[in-house]
Amino acid sequence: MKFRHLLLAATAVVALPGMAMAQSSWLPTAAAQPIQGVYLGAGAGWNHYGKNNLTAQGGNAAYFDATGASRQGNANFDEGFVGVLSVGYGFGNGFRAEVEGSYRYNDLNHMGGFPGRRAGSTTSSSFSNFSGEVAQYGVMANVFYDFQLPQWFPTMPVAVVPYIGGGVGYLWTDMDVKGNRSVPGGNRVNIDDTVGQFAYQGIAGLAFPITSVPGLSITAEYRYTGTLQADFGGRVTTPAGANVSRGDFQIDQAHNHSALIGVRYALYTPPAPAPVVPVAPAPAAAPAPTRTYLVFFDFDRADLTDRARQIIAEAAQNAGRVQTTRIEVAGHADRSGSPQYNQRLSQRRADAVASELARLGVARSNISVQAFGESRPLVPTADGVREPQNRRVEIVLR
């Protein structure tokens, strides 16, 4: 039994790391996404159960007291193995919660203690013909946090996600150990009982995602699992098997130190975030070309000629065809006459053109009217010169 269990443990510990190394070329160097949704996990590895101090209780304590022996003994165990299965849920922000089932096994290595105390000296505390094992199986509820390493983290040969966690639950310990005391009479100590206890654990590990299988990771972790003090039923018998006493053996708090290699598979893998592609700003719309129409007037006149009405009609028609937002009407005069008179004359000319545009259907609110007098001649002249091209109104469609 002992050799078979250790062989299974060794196979799990050796094979799984080998698989992880074989897949190392599949592993990305970019940060992995947090687990989101349901996942499954499994692991196996080495378990150290530690030394158990035994204290006789009840009828067993009365027996050791009556024979002048100590109530205190101990049991040491070989290195063993552990296996776990789990189902959990990732919240997509690094936190995970899971339910875990576990099994641990260790063979008895040595029994000792319960020394005699007669005449101020102790007799041998060694045991002979000892044998036994301890098996533990339990259910735990665990909470984890996965650390997402930042992109600026130093480059590593494989992607890695460190995590920590802890849990509480219930652990059943099935202990079956026995051995003969090497003292006169050689009575046999037997402990054979299964006790359920509150259990707790702390976990630290590393996950190595495999890119070729989305959601799959290799895990390597350490666990400390402990239970509270408990009493196990046992008895003391003669070498022939007759009962000498019956009672309990109190066993100190149990300590399990475990190292496991495992696999974890997330059933849902969120799609990788789409790369951010900069969007070029839309080119600004080209400004609509302006159109200018010139309406000329007779000397010292502000009434519209037939030709002037044709030009104004063309401007009004085009204003409806294009996206015109504003129509500017600017009146001008030549330099014959005083500046004050020419200012008033240019205003009358601009008003006449604006009124004709409105009559032809152009909204009056879209028309702005200005008068510049003789200040902006189309053809520069000396003062007092009559110049036909300066007697005008400019219509600008914008």
Closest to 214 (Cα-Cα) out of 24, 15, 26, 21: 26
Q: Which residue has the higher pLDDT, 4 or 393?
A: 393
Q: How far apart are CA 113 and CA 54, in angstroms?
A: 9
pLDDT band at 121 (very low <50, low <70, confident <90, very high): very low
pLDDT in tens, 288-309: 667 899 999 999 999 999 999 9
Question: Are the beta carbons of 335 and 385 closer than 8 angstroms?
Answer: yes
pLDDT in tens, 329-376: 999 999 998 999 999 999 999 999 999 999 998 888 889 999 999 999
Secondary structure letter of residue 126 according to DSSP: B
Other Cβ atoms less than 10 A from the Cβ of 171: the count is: 24
Per-residue pLDDT at 288: 60
Tell me the CA distances in angstroms from 11 to 51, 139, 185, 205, 286, one per residue in order: 25, 25, 44, 21, 75
What's the CATH number of domain 291-397, 3.40.50.720, 2.60.40.10, 3.30.1330.60, 3.40.50.360? 3.30.1330.60
> Has residue 152 got a pLDDT over 80?
no
Query: Which of 123-137, 142-156, 252-266 is the least confident region?
Result: 142-156
pLDDT band at 241 (very low <50, low <70, confident <90, very high): confident
What's the CATH number of domain 2-266, 3.20.20.70, 3.40.50.2000, 2.40.160.20, 1.20.58.390? 2.40.160.20
The pair of structure tokens assigned to 267 is 């059933």
Cα 312 versus chain centre, distance:
70
> Has residue 35 got a pLDDT over 50?
yes
pLDDT band at 253 (very low <50, low <70, confident <90, very high): confident
Question: Are the beta carbons of 378 and 332 closer than 8 angstroms?
Answer: yes
Residues carrying CATH 3.30.1330.60, the chain: 291-397
Contacts of 9 (CB under 8 A, 6+ apart): 44, 45, 46, 47, 80, 81
pLDDT in tens, 184-207: 667 899 999 999 999 999 999 999
Per-residue pLDDT at 174: 96
| pTM tops 0.75, yes or no | no
Residues carrying CATH 2.40.160.20, the chain: 2-266
